[in-house]
Structures are given as structure tokens and as C-alpha cells.
Structure 1
Amino acid sequence: MTSKVLEDIFQVTTNPENIPKGYNLVILGENDTLTNLDLATTDAALLYQLTENELLEQPFSYLNDCFVRCQKQKRLNKNNTSLASVFKEIDRLVIGYGLVAFQIEEFALHGNLQNYIAHILLRYDNYADFLSQIIQRSIIEESVADLLNSFFPSLLHYVNRPNALFDMNDSVNYNNTLSVFELFVNFKQVAAIFTKIDEFCPIDGLLANEYEKKTILGPILTLSPLNINVALKNYGGMLERSTSQTNMIHESLQAEHKVVLERLFFICDRIIRGSVESRTDMVSYWGQIVNKNHLRRADHATQNKLASNAFTTNISLILIKFSEPFLDVSYKKIDKIDVNFFNNLNLFIDLSNETRLNSDFKEADQFYDEHRNDVKPNFISDCFFLTLTYLHYGIGGTLLYDEKVTPQIKRLKEEIEKVKTFSNSNSLLANFVSAKLKQLEKTLSYSLAIKNAMKGFFSNRALQLEVFDFICGASTFLLRVIDPDHQFPFKQIELPLIPDKVGVENVDNAEYLRAHAPIPFKYYPEFVVEGPINYSLYISHYSNSPIFRNPRLQSFVELGTTILRCPELISNPHLKGKLVQLFSVGAMPLTDNSPGFMMSIFEENTLVNKNLLYALLDFYVIVEKTGSSSQFYDKFNSRYSISIILEELYNRIPIYKKQLIWQSQNNPDFFIRFIARMLNDLTFLLDEGLSNLADVHSIGRELSDPNSINQPEESTDESQNDLQSRYQAAQRQAKSSCGLAAKSMTLFEIYTKDIPQSFVTAEVVDRLASMLNYNLQSLVGPKCGNLRVKDPEQYSFNPKELLKALCTVYINLANEEEFVKAVARDSRSFNIDLFKSAIDILGRRTGLVSDEFCNSLFTFASKADSTRKAEEEEDMEYEDAPDEFLDPLMYTIMKDPVTLPTSKVNIDRSTIKAHLLSDSTDPFNRSPLILEEVIPNDELKQRIGEWKAGKKAEKQ
């Protein structure tokens, strides 16, 4: 009985005459030890098969088959106790030799580790039980390290073999590979030393793009729809797909990726839980990768020299899953995250070249040197800050790549159209053009595949919800760091953290703000805030964005409001610009004109509704200076976003309207800075926009009339191209300027109605009047025909609505005496006939306004005209005023002369006050200046008064 069982299991015999029909048994060699097949000769029989049988080409497969047959025989003979010892010995031998096969490659006659691996990955289910037993035997024999150092480097070499592709396109290969990893790490003894495998992370270090190929976990961590081969297979080709077809591909890949991520997390989780050493090594591995891939956020990085989007986003998502338990809505474990994390030694995150939130490198390094903590951070802290790092460089690098691909696709499509047009007119170059066209179309197909793969990834709401939930939890923690007592969210934070310095622009107060910035927050790397802001702004443009209808969104809005309200927190104005851009997306009405998705938070959250308005007004002012070479234009985008938010808050939430009116009445110095900036912008934007429209009009006429180009024939094409370029530039600039101006004009309309007194102060009233008069002349004056362009809506230009808005401001301020005088004394542009033309257009021709509106406008214009005549008579009286009585900038007689402390120049208080709203320096020597430093010149004021009185007396 024993002999027959052994023959069946090992497929061998010592008696060739008794081979049953249908069996293909191996006849054992003729020697003394193998004359009988029994328990005593089992080892020799098996050894013969492995080391001497020339026909046995797959020794490991043979061992596995023996193991499988042994288990089958066990089941068939489960009641035969006499065979129990036989089966036990067979298992011992087969499993033992299976372990030896991986430890000593030359042991078997045809031993080949990669061959073994190939068979396992091809039919994993058939090998799983045997492999599990081998692992358990290695644990018993304390040879796990040997097994791992043999098995996994061979596995790595196998998946990286030449011309082999390891990705989600080959489901059998990658699924079985993941199953092998899962099987191994499910044994705690294996997971505990898994990171000690020689090629887990080579000691010598790797280049940024080598980790996914040359480390044990690298290949499986690239399993993603973002893998370029997966993207090309699913989205490649020039085939036009319908939206529904593309969405089906998205959904299929999203479902598959979800399962892959769960399996990858299982593997990493087992390693993390294996031992202190394996946890430390795993975090170190991820740290090395991200430290060498900072260029993923660079503008002109070479993508193929960096880790792939697939690799880094998968690690990001795995880390986010690790972070979930200590960032849940209860925040019971939030105190486990070390607020002073960056003070610790042995950090896995390289901060050597990281910009800090509000300190320089030297100051930060000095602080860390003085407050160094020798205690190693806990895993929760390591994991949290590493996740923030990956959010910026991993997922953040991916979304930046997406933003670069979009314009590249547009350029490729334009280039293809140009080549096609050229080919139609140049048959002699047909072959060259055809080759060029094929190359361009191939590149376009490649770019579109990447674009669609990213769209599929970022439109996966369930996945992105995990990312944004992490951001919301991180926002709460960052507020906890900002809180002087580090008690948030269990105790509410009070803002502002330092007293406001009204009248002093925060951007000119940088040193003061830096000195008073909260510690340790000011020393944190900038990416801890930049990563969440970049991601949230980007993902907000997806229709199924996780930001929408998210109950945790208020945590992020609270952080954003705090950053804007406390200028000492972050020194980078571009980050704040992105933040207000995101808030404007959240404030804009939805498609059904219902309030934007952030509006309920703006209204109901106490921290937000107490601080948001002041924060927006303050940032509107200080964004004037961004520190970059393009700062003059940077401010307009931020102010456009702020204007959107302010308009929606003012019109939809009564508390903000009350706050704005309160600020204008009780904090005039602060509020007037805001009005002055609005006026500066509107003046420039309207002038720029109308000027660009005039260019569009004139260049458009030239383009439509080729005879107007007076150039030699050979240069006609060049002139036409130059004109076309100028025309497109004028169109872009007109669209930008007119769009921004329209939004600013809306604020002027609504604010001048409810708080007119703020617009008639001495600092701004003359400039406001001049701006209104000048643009009224542009819209209805003799040159208004120059503004006629085709399809004005594409430039956000509606001349009739703009005219109505201008006239509405006149009417809103008609009862303010100072405004009437300012309009009247604008000798350059004021003309009552312009008002009559405006009334004719708005009333009789278009019916845009009521008779009451027309009457009010005419009454105002008549009053201003009368005032102009009276003031002209008065000016005649004072035309011989001494130069020392005249304001050196405005050339008008000073009413309240003051002396500037350093230049000693006498100037009218209203003039220097208006100047300081835009520039905190003495206009005559550029030295720093604040209004409190000017010296009243009472003696000069008295002499001016006496001189004017004398003039009046002479007249009488």
C-alpha cells in the first residue's frame, strides 16, 4: 500500500513490469538504495528525480505537483492511520526541497529561479498552498531571510526582463504577482524582516526615476490607470469616442484601480505592522522617493528623469489610507500628531531646499538647532507629514503635469491644421508633409491618452473623496498648530492673532509680520499649505468634485479664512491668490442660480463669518505687491476673484452687508485703502480695455482690407502675419481687461448706493470723478465708433450696460456735494453734452433705464455744470497765487498744508494722503513714510487763508 501511494505521488517505480495502464511513471535507477520504494527510500527517490532525472525540466513544478498529489491522497486515505506517517514524511521532504530549491539555485538538475517564478505567476492558484508551506517551513527553520533574498530579487528581475511589460493590461500577471506579495507578508515573521531584502531599497541610492524598476515594491506600486502603457491601450489612437464610451472606460479602470489600491495597502500595512524596523524602513523608503522627486513640481522638469505619475500617486493614496484613522471627524487622535515634528532628529523628509511659510532658511535652521528634539517621531507624525509631502509632490506633480498637457494638445491640433493646409498647396513636398503629419498625430494621440487617463483618475469621486477628506483633516491640524495654545478644534481659535495695524500696508510691514508669526508654524515648509490649496483648486473644476456637498469642507474654509485674515501666517501672496480663486469658485452661483457650494459655510460658520470680509478687503489691498516681475498684472486676477466673492456675500448674506457698512463708518482709514485700490484698478482696466477694443477695431479693418497694407509684394505675407499676431494679442488683452473691469464696475454700483460717503473723501473723489468722466467720453463721445467690434460679448464688453453702470454711479453719488464739485472741476473730460448723449442712448434708443433715471442723471449733470461755471470764476480770482501756496503735485491752492519730515516739501494733506494709499514713501525722495509722520504747517495755512481773504476783499 505504501509503495503504491509513493509511486502515485512521486510518479516513479522500481518495477517497470507493474506500471498500470495510463501511467507514465519514471523507472528509478538500478542501485542498492532504490530496489524497493518505501518510506526509507523516499528521500533517495525524490533526490534522484531532482538531481539525476534528465527528463525532469521543471523541478519546482514537479515538487508542487507532488505536494498536490500528496494532499489528494491524504483526503482519499483520511481514515487510514497507518499512512499518516508516510504523508507527514512526504510533506517534510517535498516542502523541504521546495525551500532548498529557492535557497540553492544549482541544487536541482534544471534549477532556474526565474523559471520557477514564471510558473508561479502563470498559475498562482495551483502553487499557493505549496508556497505557503514553504514559507512556514522557512519560519520554523529560521531561514526566512534566505528565502526572501532569493525569491523577491528573482521576482523583480523577472518582471523587469527585456521587452516585458508589467502593468494593468496583463491582469493575470499582475494579479498573481500581488497574490504572491500578499501571501508572503501575511506571515508576520516575514513582514517583520521584509524590508531587509537586499533590493528592497539599495543602500547605494537610486536616481529619481529608478525606484519603480529597481526596488522590490516598485513594480507593483506602478499598477495604475496612469501608467502610460495602460493609458495608451485604453485611450490611445485617433479614434473619436463618444462621452459615454469614454466614461465607460473611466468606470472600468476606476473599479479595477480601487481593488489594486486595496491590495497594495494590505501589503504595505502588513509590512508597517511587521516590526519597528520594517515600519521605519518602509517610511524611509517612501521618504527617499519623494526627496528625490521634488522637481515633479518644477515648471520645466524632464518627466522621464523623474518617478512616474502612476508610482507617486499610488504611494500618495496609500499614505492617505494610513492617515484616515487619526484624522477622522472625532479628532480623538489628532494630538498624536507632533506639532513640533520638524524639530526632531532623523526626519525622513528633506527640508534643505524647502521654502518656509514665513521665515528664511537661516532663521529656520537656527530655530531647529536651538530646539532640537532627540526623541524619534511616532509613526502617526511621520505618516501625516509624509502624506502632506506626497500630496504636493506626488498627486500635486500629477495635476501640474495635467495642466501642462492641455495647452500642448491645443498646440498640436493647431500645428496639424497648419500642416494639412500647407500640404494642400505644396504637392512637391507631399512625402515630407505626410511623414510630419503622422508624427504629429502620433504625438497628439499620446498626449490625448495621457489627458484622458488623468481625467479618469481625477473624476473618480470615491478616490478623490479620500484625498479631500485628508485635506480637511490636515486643515484642522494646521489650525491647531496656528492656535497659540494648540487646543483647536476642542477650543475655538480667536482671530486676529496679532492686532491689526490699520493704515499700514501689511506688505510693507513684512519684518513686523515675520517677527510676530506663530511658532512653529512659521518654520513649516510651504508645501504643507500649498499642496492642499493646489489640489482643492484643481479638483474644484470637476463636475463630481469631492469638494461639493462635503460636510468636512468647512475645515478647509476655516483654514483658508484664517490664512487670509492673519497676514503674518504666510508670506507668499501667490498662495493666497490661489486661495481666493478657490473661494470665488465656491461663491459663484450654481447653474440654477442657487448659492455657491461654499456660501452656507460663509454664512453659518462663526470663525468664517466673523473674519472673512476683513480678510478679503485687506488682501485686496496688499496683493498690489506680489514680489514677482509680473506683480502689476498678478493683482488683477486675485482682485477679480475677491470681487466675485464680495458681490455674492453682499447680495446674498445680510451679515456681510452690515459688516461692510460698519467698516466704512467705523474703520474709514482701513476701508478707504480698499476703495482707492478698486478705483486704481477700474481706472486702468477700463482705459486698457477700451484702448484694446479700439485696436481690435482698427486692426480688424486692416485685415479685412488687404489693400490697406502698403508693403512691397514680397513682404505682404509677413505683414499679414504680424497684423494677425497683433490682432490676437489685442483680442486677448481686451477680453481680460474688459472682464475684470466689468466685475469691478459691479462693486462700484452696489457700494456707491449703500455707502456713498466712502467714495467722496478727499483722497479719492477727484480720481473717481475723472475716471467716470473720461470713460463717459469714451463711450458716447466723438470717438465712440472706434469701439465697435464684431461679437463684443466674446470680450465681456457690453457698451450699453457699461454706460448704464457708469451713469448709475453718478446718480448714486449725486447728493454728495464733494462729488459734484469733483466732477465739475475735471476740465479735461467733463461736458454736459456727454450726459445728454448718454440719456438719449439709455432712454430713448434702448429703453434700458426709466424716465426717473434719465431725469436724475440730467439733474446731476446740470448741477455739476453750474458748479463748473462758478468754480471757473473763482479760479480766475486766484490765478496769480504764489507758487509756495500751490500743491507741488496737483498745482491747486492748498487747503491744509503739511510738511514732509525728510524731504521738507510742503504739500496738501489730502494729496499726500491719497499718495500714501498707493505708495508708502515720500514722493520726493522715496524714503519710507506714514501719514502720522507729516507735520501740520499752520503758519503756511494761515498765510494762504489771509491771502484768499484779501483777494475776496479786493473783489468787493
Structure 2
Amino acid sequence: MMPDLFELGIDGTLQLARCLSASALDPTSSITFGLSGPSTSFYSCLCDELLSQDPGSFESVIADTVSHFTKSLSKCDTVLDGGGGSIEGGIDGGGMVIVSGLKELCSHKKAAACLTRVPSFLLPAEGSEKSKERVTPPVPTLPPGASAQQQRFFRMVQAMSAGRSGYLRRSGPALEKDTLLGLVLRIGLPMENPAVSSSFQNAASRTMKDVKQGIEGMRRQLRIYQDKCNELVRALVTAGADARGQVMNWIIDALLVNIGADAMRPDRSKVSNAQTLLNLAVVLLKLCEPFISDEKKSALINPGFASFAEGHGGVFITMGDNAVPRLAENPVMPSEPYKPKNSFIPQCFFFTARALHLSVVSGSSYHMGILRQVNNTAWQLRQRNENAQSDPNFNHILSMQYANEVSLLAPEMIADTLRFLNLTARFLVRIDDSQLALMPEHFVDDICDLTTFISRVEPKTMQGLDLGNIFKMVVKLLSPKYAHTVRNYNLRAKLGDVLYEVYLPPNVDGSSSVPRSVSCDPLTGGQPYLLSDASAQETLAPSLLLLYGEVEHTGYYEKMSHRAHIAALLKYLWESTEHRNAFRRITQNKESFIKFANGIMNETNSLIASVMEKLPEIRRVQVQMANPQQWAALPEEQRETITSRHEENERDVERALPLCNKTLQMLGYLNTDDDIRNLFLLEEMCSRLVNMLLHVLTKLVGSKGLELKVDNPENYNFRPKEMLRDLCAIFASFSSAHEFQVECAKSGYYNTDLMTKSVKTCRKLNLLTGESMELFESLAEKVKTASKHVGDDDALVADAPDEFLDPLMCTFMKDPVLLPTSGTVIDRSTIMQHLLNDPVDPFNRKPLTVDMIIPATELKEKMENWLEEKRSAMSTQGV
């Protein structure tokens, strides 16, 4: 076609692009509308005619038409932009209109296939020369007439761009700047865009109703755009095997070049922006919709895909720097070839899971950081008696929070995500153990992170959703059988957190806002999953006891939070008849239970020591600050030091006391069971239990108890009356046990005045009633009797030979044993207690286990003979 002869044909492909885009505004008069269906439309007939005359020209026309769409898309940054119609060769309308035009172009399957073959559809192949080329973007310049806010933003962008070295042709930035689907998916409502964040100016002084209206208005526009993106991608994947293969290749590229998007601080010269990845996840979630709720179709998800490198293209690689960790350590790779009944469903499932990890999961972690920053800034302003509403920094952070919530917390996306996570959980529960071991670890990690995140920040969106499979997965993976499969202690701790945050019924622990329907099983008449699930009844109680010890490895502050959650769950299970048999079975494994009980006492001792040390310090500073003249007289630097230390003490106490309270409660209710109580009375446990209880009692009702009377104790979760009640109830439950009475008599913390005062306080405050009060009151007299026997025993062994004395405790040994690693003889109770905390010989630090200990039978016989002679001698003397 000669341009000078047919002038109107010069911009024919641009006119075609504009006509296709116009379909979004008036579908019935568009060129893609046909009275008898799309195949009878003018556009379809045009495509068929071009194909019949010259297939090469058809390819050229489609490629040129796509280039106009690409050029216009590059001018759009958000769904709020007006589009590229004002530029030469542009298309009128914003991103939604342009993407609608692309979708209409794909209404003809041959045209859709052509679109996937244009050179800009895929990134350069990995390892190619072009993939190594570097693009250096120009430094942005300030537009004329820019507002003050725009000027600040451009200065920030210029500063950020100054140190950049550009990006590679095969990278995250290249994906969204140079490929068609990247240009489509990069458009949204990114929080850092001034057009978005400026919508929430002066956020602190606006009503929540006003803010929510702004968020909902933006979400409506974003949803319309994302729906168009979904339609475009669906048109491409249904255009034939070749087109579908190209789309999957693009998705593989997108996931590979964004491998670093899950980092705490992603390198923006290597990865795409968060909106691109979020839109990719949304599109993939929609591709999964047909099989998410269809069990027959979801059964076609073949677990072998994760190990089929040719299929996933390296997305789930197991070697090298970009390796994706598996659930089990060194799992056995499958020997059978990957032969799925359906190849598309596994692709969609596994790629969606990976996309969620790189987008929504990473975004949720980032958003929690913003929320912490908002809360911390507000707290600092309150401490300085400053007005948050007028503080520019606080308003800026709050506006970023609201701007981020527009995309990240869109209700439909959250619901789709939760449904997909429930499908993933069902898949993980049903596959066999060898296949489970090969699954990417982040599948389970992401389920935990996202369900807990949503339960905390947007629990209402969970209403009406079935998350029963997630519960089943958590119970399965927490069970002792899978402790070696899920080997990551942090991940196991998260599984426990999911039970607490999502499945502990609302109001049980006074904190959850999750709808009750989420924690209850509709198939059992609305009973909580924690009580009605058969697997939970069998394994959950021992699983949680095991987990209580395992979270020791998660970090000092983290373990306190995890253990507080576990303690609340155990209390709920203990109060149900459905789990009582499981608790009874726990006592059959004496060694495991002793480890758990030892962990409880270690934790309580540590927490009590910390709290009882810091509460008096908090009290002293409160008194000091309550005197304005005295406080003002101190140098400013000293005041700052005192305040900083005071705030640190407050935070530590706030973290420690919830677990401290729950641990005491747990000791109380567990020891109402005779079998469990008998385990606490074992030699290696009883003395530690007594000393711990008496230590706390001394702090609460002893001579320095007034030092604990801080202002506003509820702010620190400090409830001394409840703590004393729980403590005295434990004393009451053990008061009849001879072993407990003897250890009280031996303890350096025990004195008669302390016990008398405790009994009076209990009666005065009515903390204990009935039989419990009588048992507690009777303990003092029983300890007095035990003290006489202890004194007699001490007198009996006062001149015992050194070989009869424990080398660590300097006490007369009851059951001497030989440590083969050092050749030392020590009392069994002493070494057993030591090995609970440190599995080494205390005399040479060599590894030592209980089964290595050798009874010192000859020495024990010698000691018994010596004791018999002493008793006979004392009897003869009439002592």
C-alpha cells in the first residue's frame, strides 16, 4: 500500500487500535460486536480476510496495532491516569480503556496468538547477549508549575536515581517497562505514587468514614482495571496451546527475575514494583478459580510439578543461590517421570503460590512494618504531649498506611487469596509423605503468615469463608510424626500461632476479632474445630506440649509470645472432655513430659526474676516523675536516661507478664490431675518447683511487696491478686504430698511468717474457698512436721564421709550414679536435673545422655550400711 496514493491508510493500525479501545465505551457499536456472535463482527471478518490473503501481512498489522497499545500504556502509571490519547500516535482513555482494546484484539484467536509472538512479549532469553545489556534511565526533571508536594517528591526521586546504575534487559524493571503484559500489570494504585498518597493528606484529622470512602472509591477503580487484566489474560490462554505456552513462559520469566522480591529490602534495580507483582497474583488467582472449589478438578494438581524443572522453568529450583527450600531436609527426589493428566492446572496452582509469596506475603510483612511505625510514632507523640493530628511526619506515615491498604487489603483479593490458601492446605494434607517432603517450605509459611496477618488487620473479610483445610494442615504438621518433616522451629511456632489467632474461638482469650464462623466446623453443627476434629483430639495436646519446648529456639521475645499463645490453647483444650484422654496419654511418656515441665519452670523462673526486678524500678521512676519539682531539678540528660530505661522496663514487663500469668495458670490446672502431679513430685522436679513457687510468693506478699504496687498495673498485665490466687491454688493442690512438704522444709525461701501472711491475705481477699483454702492453710503445719524429720536426717548424715556427698550440691546422696565420661559419682536427681538443661557432663563438658549413666551399686550399698550403723548407734544412745 503506497502512502501517497492512499493517505488514510498511513495510520490504519492506529485507527484499528482506537476502534478496538472504543469497545469499552460502547460495546454494541464496536467493531468486535456481531449480531450472531463475535465471529460475525467486522473485526473478525477483517482478520479472516487478511489471513486468507496474506498471513504475513496479518502478523504485521497485529504487531503494529499492538505497538500503539504499548506506546500508550507506557504513559500510564496508575488507574487514575487519563491515558496516551494526547500524545502523537496515542489512544484516548486510561489504562482500563487500553487494556479493554487489547482484550478485544484477542477476541480473534489468531490475533491473540500473533500478539504473543511480537518481539516485546517476552524478555530476552536468560544468558543471551541482549539479556546482559544495561539500561540507564534518565534522571527525572521537575515539571513546570509543580506543587510543593510534587517538588518534594521529585527531589526524593532524583536523589534515589542519582546512585542507580540502571537495570538489565532481563530484570524486574525490564519486565514492566519492555514487555506487553508487564506494562499492563504495572498499572494500579501504588502507595508511593503522589496521585494515590495525596488522596489521604491530613489523614490524622479526617474521620474514618471519610478515609474509608476514599479507599473504597479507589478500590472500585482498581477492581475494574484488574477485571480487564483478567479478561485479557484469559483471552490469551484460551487462544490455543501456542499462545497459552507463551503466556506461561512470560509468567515463568516474571517469577524468575523477581526472585529477590521477598527480601526485607528488595533491590529495585532488579525486581518489579509491588503493584506489578500484586496484579500478577490477582490474575493468577482468577485463573485458578475454576478448580479452587471443584474437588474433581483440583485433584488434577500433580505434586510432581515442583520437581519437574522442564515444566517450572527453574521457578522451584533446588540448587544454587536461588534455591527454593523444601519442607524436609534433603528429601528424596521422585524416580518416576512427571506425567500429569492435565498440565495447565498444576502450572496455575504452583505459579500462583509462588506469585503470592513474592507479592501479597512480602506486602503483608511490609505493611506490618508501617503499622508498627504508625503506632510507635503515635506513642512518642503522646509521651511528648504533642498533637498527632498536626504532626506532619505522623500524617505522612498514616497516609502511606491508607494508600497501601487500597491495593493490599482489597476484600475480593483477600477472599480469593484465602480460598487459594485453603486449597493449598487441602493439597498438602492429601499428598503422601514423600511428596509432602518435596513441597516448597514457603507454601506452609505463606499460609501461616497470611492467615495470621488477615486475622489481625482485616478479620471481617474472613466472614463466611471455609478455612477448615488450613486447620487440618496445621494439626497434621504439628503432630509428633511430622516434627522431622517440618524441621524449621520458626515455622512450627507459626503453626501454633495460626491455631491461636484464627481457630481459638473469639472471646476465649479476650483478643480475637475473627468471625466465629471461621473457627467452627459447619459439618459438626458449628462446633469449634479445636474440639470436634478427630485428629486434633488425638494429637494436638501432645503436639502443643512438644511445641512449647521447641519455640525456645525462636528468640527471646518471640518465644514469650509463642508460649503465651500455646498456654492459652492448652488451657482451652484442658477444659474440654474431648481432649482429656490425650492429656492422660502424655504422662505415659515420662521423659518428654519432664522436658516440657522443666521448660515451664525455666520459663517461669526467668520471667519472674525479670518482672520482679523491673516492677520496683518502674515504681521508683513513677514516684520520681509524680513530683514535678524533683523531676525538673534533674539535668535533662539524666532525665532522658531515666526515661529511656523506664520505657524499656515497661516494654519488657508488658511482654513478660502475659506469659507469666498463663504459665502459673497452666501449672495450676495441669496439677489437678493426679498422674501429672506425680510427675512434678519426682526428685529431679520437686525441689525446683518448690523453690520457684516460694520465690514468687516471697515477692508478692513478702516484706518488699509494696515495691510492686505500680500505677495502672493493668497497663502491664500485672494482676497481683490473680497471680497470688493461682499461686496459692498450686500450693493447695500439692499440700498433701509428702515430697512437697519435705522440699518446702528444705527450701531456703520458706519461713513460717511468709506462709502465715499468705494464708491471711488469701482469706482477706477471698482468693481461695472451701477445700482449696483448707488445704493451703494446712500446709504450714505439715511443713513444720516435715522440718523435724529433715533436721533429724541432717543430723544423721552430718559427719558423712566426703565420698557419700554430692560433688555439686554437697548433700548426702540418695541414689549415687557414675558418669562414664568423667568417672565422677553424683546423685541421680542432681545429674538428671542438669541434663534437662544441658546434655553434657558438668565436670568435663563432654556429651552425656541419661541412658549413659551407670548406677553406683557398690557405693550405694556401702552408704546404706553406714546409715544403718548410724541409726543403730543413735538408737542405742537414746537419741
Indicate the TM-score class for this superposition, using the shorter chain for normalisation: 0.7 to 0.9
Greater radius of gyration (CA): 1
CA contact 1:191–1:278 (8 Å) conserved in 2: yes
Shift, 1:799, TM fit: 1.0
CA contact 1:643–1:743 (8 Å) conserved in 2: yes
- One-letter code aligned to 1:563: L
SS at match of 1:625: helix
CA contact 1:212–1:219 (8 Å) conserved in 2: yes
CA distance in 1, matches of 2:204, 2:650: 34
Shift, 1:402, TM fit: 0.6
Instruction: Indicate the residue corresponding to 2:731 in structure 1.
Output: 810
SS at match of 1:898: strand
Shift, 1:913, TM fit: 2.2
CA distance in 2, matches of 1:417, 1:910: 53
Instruction: Indicate the residue corresponding to 1:167 in structure 2.
Output: 79
CA contact 1:223–1:311 (8 Å) conserved in 2: yes
- One-letter code aligned to 1:328: S
The alignment yields a C-alpha RMSD, in angstroms, of 3.3
Counterpart pick for 1:524 among 410, 422, 439? 439
- Specify whether residues 447 and 294 from structure 1 end up closer, same or farther in structure 2 by C-alpha distance, changes over 3 A only: farther
Shift, 1:238, TM fit: 4.1
Spell out, residue by residue over 1:146-165, the C-alpha distance to the aligned partner (whole angstroms, 9 max, x if none).
1232222332223324xx54
Instruction: Indicate the residue corresponding to 2:419 in structure 1.
Output: 469
CA contact 2:597–2:680 (8 Å) conserved in 1: yes
Spell out, residue by residue over 1:570-618, the C-alpha distance to the aligned partner (whole angstroms, 9 max, x if none).
2211111112112112344424989895362122222232221121111
- Specify whether residues 910 and 614 from structure 1 end up closer, same or farther in structure 2 by C-alpha distance, changes over 3 A only: same
1:198 aligns with 2:119: yes
Instruction: Indicate the residue corresponding to 1:613 in structure 2.
Output: 541
1:952 aligns with 2:871: yes
1:213 aligns with 2:182: no
CA contact 2:301–2:349 (8 Å) conserved in 1: no
CA distance in 1, matches of 2:445, 2:212: 31
Shift, 1:284, TM fit: 2.2
Q: 1:564-713, aligned counterparts within 5 Å?
A: 564-565=478-479, 566-591=482-507, 597-598=518-519, 600-626=528-554, 631-651=555-575, 653-664=576-587, 666-705=588-627
1:783 aligns with 2:697: no
Counterpart pick for 2:763 among 834, 838, 843? 843
Spell out, residue by residue over 1:197-256, the C-alpha distance to the aligned partner (whole angstroms, 9 max, x if none).
121223134332332232212233234344544632543444733222333334334444
1:759 aligns with 2:680: yes
Instruction: Indicate the residue corresponding to 1:736 in structure 2.
Output: 655
1:922 aligns with 2:841: yes
Shift, 1:744, TM fit: 0.8
- One-letter code aligned to 1:556: I
Shift, 1:921, TM fit: 2.8
Shift, 1:753, TM fit: 1.6
Instruction: Indicate the residue corresponding to 1:337 in structure 2.
Output: 302
- One-letter code aligned to 1:670: S
Instruction: Indicate the residue corresponding to 2:210 in structure 1.
Output: 245
- Specify whether residues 882 and 358 from structure 1 end up closer, same or farther in structure 2 by C-alpha distance, changes over 3 A only: farther
- One-letter code aligned to 2:870: K
CA distance in 2, matches of 1:184, 1:195: 12
Shift, 1:460, TM fit: 4.0
CA distance in 1, matches of 2:334, 2:673: 55
Spell out, residue by residue over 1:712-738, the C-alpha distance to the aligned partner (whole angstroms, 9 max, x if none).
x9x911111111000000001111111
1:357 aligns with 2:326: yes
- Specify whether residues 239 and 220 from structure 1 end up closer, same or farther in structure 2 by C-alpha distance, changes over 3 A only: farther
- Specify whether residues 401 and 633 from structure 1 end up closer, same or farther in structure 2 by C-alpha distance, changes over 3 A only: closer
CA distance in 1, matches of 2:847, 2:46: 79
Spell out, residue by residue over 1:454-475, the C-alpha distance to the aligned partner (whole angstroms, 9 max, x if none).
4344554443222111111111
Spell out, residue by residue over 1:500-543, the C-alpha distance to the aligned partner (whole angstroms, 9 max, x if none).
xxxxxxxxxxxxxxxxxxx3433433212211211111111245
TM-score by structure 2 length?
0.82
- Specify whether residues 323 and 159 from structure 1 end up closer, same or farther in structure 2 by C-alpha distance, changes over 3 A only: closer
CA distance in 2, matches of 1:704, 1:278: 74
Shift, 1:633, TM fit: 4.1
CA contact 1:899–1:934 (8 Å) conserved in 2: yes
Q: 1:255-266, aligned counterparts within 5 Å?
A: 255-266=220-231
Shift, 1:174, TM fit: 2.3
Shift, 1:548, TM fit: 4.7
Instruction: Indicate the residue corresponding to 1:504 in structure 2.
Output: none
1:866 aligns with 2:785: yes
* Runs of at least 5 residues in structure 1 that lack an aligned partner in the other structure: 1-42, 52-58, 60-96, 104-112, 423-436, 485-518
CA contact 1:254–1:457 (8 Å) conserved in 2: yes
- Specify whether residues 580 and 180 from structure 1 end up closer, same or farther in structure 2 by C-alpha distance, changes over 3 A only: same
Q: 1:309-458, aligned counterparts within 5 Å?
A: 309-339=274-304, 341-348=306-313, 349-351=315-317, 352=320, 353-358=322-327, 363=330, 378-413=343-378, 441=392, 444-457=394-407
Of stretches 942-951 and 617-626 in structure 1, the one that deviates more from structure 2 is 617-626
CA distance in 2, matches of 1:532, 1:648: 24
CA contact 1:354–1:526 (8 Å) conserved in 2: no
- Specify whether residues 655 and 248 from structure 1 end up closer, same or farther in structure 2 by C-alpha distance, changes over 3 A only: same
CA distance in 1, matches of 2:272, 2:347: 21
CA distance in 1, matches of 2:61, 2:472: 53
CA distance in 2, matches of 1:402, 1:659: 40
- Specify whether residues 770 and 227 from structure 1 end up closer, same or farther in structure 2 by C-alpha distance, changes over 3 A only: closer
- Specify whether residues 614 and 852 from structure 1 end up closer, same or farther in structure 2 by C-alpha distance, changes over 3 A only: closer
CA contact 1:459–1:545 (8 Å) conserved in 2: no
CA contact 1:138–1:147 (8 Å) conserved in 2: no
- One-letter code aligned to 1:557: F
- One-letter code aligned to 2:568: I
Shift, 1:190, TM fit: 1.6
CA distance in 1, matches of 2:559, 2:816: 33
Shift, 1:418, TM fit: 9.5
- Specify whether residues 536 and 692 from structure 1 end up closer, same or farther in structure 2 by C-alpha distance, changes over 3 A only: same
CA contact 1:554–1:605 (8 Å) conserved in 2: no
* Runs of at least 5 residues in structure 2 that lack an aligned partner in the other structure: 32-41, 84-92, 125-130, 132-168, 521-527
- Specify whether residues 589 and 864 from structure 1 end up closer, same or farther in structure 2 by C-alpha distance, changes over 3 A only: farther
Instruction: Indicate the residue corresponding to 1:480 in structure 2.
Output: 430
Of stretches 846-855 and 321-330 in structure 1, the one that deviates more from structure 2 is 846-855
Instruction: Indicate the residue corresponding to 2:232 in structure 1.
Output: 267
Spell out, residue by residue over 1:125-163, the C-alpha distance to the aligned partner (whole angstroms, 9 max, x if none).
5794276665454444313321232222332223324xx
Spell out, residue by residue over 1:151-202, the C-alpha distance to the aligned partner (whole angstroms, 9 max, x if none).
22332223324xx544245494223112201111111112223221121223
- One-letter code aligned to 2:581: K
CA distance in 1, matches of 2:686, 2:382: 53
Instruction: Indicate the residue corresponding to 2:11 in structure 1.
Output: 101
Of stretches 741-750 and 313-322 in structure 1, the one that deviates more from structure 2 is 313-322
CA contact 1:344–1:376 (8 Å) conserved in 2: no
Shift, 1:293, TM fit: 2.4
CA contact 2:171–2:258 (8 Å) conserved in 1: no
CA distance in 2, matches of 1:854, 1:576: 40
CA distance in 1, matches of 2:700, 2:858: 46
Instruction: Indicate the residue corresponding to 1:187 in structure 2.
Output: 108
Instruction: Indicate the residue corresponding to 1:5 in structure 2.
Output: none
SS at match of 2:545: helix
